[in-house]
Amino acid sequence: MAIRLGDDAPDFTAQTTQGEINFHEWLGDDWGVLFSHPKDYTPVCTTELGMAARLKPEFDRRGVKIIGLSVDPLASHEDWAKDIEETQGAAVNFPMIADADKKIADLYDMIHPNASDTFTVRSVFVIGPDKKVKLTLTYPASAGRNFEEILRVIDSLQLTAKYSVATPVNWQDGDDCIIVPAVSDEDAKAKFPKGWRAVKPYLRITPQPNK
Ligand code: BEZ
């Protein structure tokens, strides 16, 4: 069963490189990013995990825990992690789930049989503190993801959660935002003391509220 935006993120218990975890307990009140990669000892995955490790301080700063998954056993993850540290300039500093029996991959629909019967695709699930799924991404094995983009969309999601703004095309942190249509002009006066510019009644531009 595919997981859709707004669904509860399924809970599970898993063996990871940082010990056994219960997913929801491990998340606590934080945001989370659960991402799958097809296989240990593969080149694109090696670069992705190195980048995720280098960007971990940026995820921490946003109150976001990250966790990887592939359908390989724990010993394989632990051995491959040495290669990642050696070649990518960063040690893997977040848990990697060993999902050899594909239990979690199936739970999150990470195996797309018309792409591969055996390996997970590159899935990303961003999960909010309410344990609801806020974002999903699916990439093929051959295309490494852009982890800066994952941070960018987390910034957008967190702004929406806190300030009732949406973010326009190609938005970057610090750019102007859009007042969500559900907020009336009357309510916007109190919520957006910096004011706004109404390009159209439905397109109201306001400075990023937390800058
Ligand atoms: C990779 O991570 O390099 C990869 C994995 C599976 C298929 C193709 C590439």
* Minimum-distance ligand 1 atom for the alpha carbon of 43: 3
Residue 207, amino acid: P
Q: Which residues line ligand 1 (CB under 6 A)?
A: 38-39, 42-45, 141-142
**Residue 8, pLDDT above cutoff 80:** yes
- 8-state DSSP, 132: B
Percent of the chain with pLDDT over 90: 99
**Residue 39, pLDDT above cutoff 80:** yes
CA 136–ligand 1 middle distance (angstroms): 20
CA 72–ligand 1 middle distance (angstroms): 14
Output the DSSP codes for 6-25.
TSBPPP-EEEETTEEEEHHH
Q: Which of 105, 84, 141, 88 is nearest to 14 (CA)?
A: 105
Interval 103-154: pLDDT, tens: 999 999 999 999 999 999 999 999 999 999 999 999 999 999 999 999 999 9
Q: What integer is the mean pLDDT of 7-18? A: 98
pLDDT of residue 165: 98
Q: Which of 150, 145, 70, 146 is nearest to 110 (CA)?
A: 70
Q: What integer is the mean pLDDT of 89-110? A: 97
Output the DSSP codes for 34-54.
EEE-S-TT-HHHHHHHHHHHH
**Residue 1, pLDDT above cutoff 90:** no
pLDDT of residue 170: 98
Compute the distance between CA of residue 149 and CA of residue 33 in angstroms, rounded to an integer.
13
* Minimum-distance ligand 1 atom for the alpha carbon of 39: 5
* Beta-carbon contacts of residue 47 (< 8 Å; ≥ 6 apart): 88, 144
Tell me which of 36, 45, 118, 119 to substitute to probe ligand 1's pocket, judged by most ligand atoms within 8 Å of the beta carbon: 45
pLDDT of residue 151: 98
Q: pTM for this one?
A: 0.97
- Which residues are known to be catalytic? 45
Tell me which of 69, 110, 142, 145 to substitute to probe ligand 1's pocket, judged by most ligand atoms within 8 Å of the beta carbon: 142
Q: What integer is the mean pLDDT of 177-184? A: 97
CA 192–ligand 1 middle distance (angstroms): 46
CA 22–ligand 1 middle distance (angstroms): 28
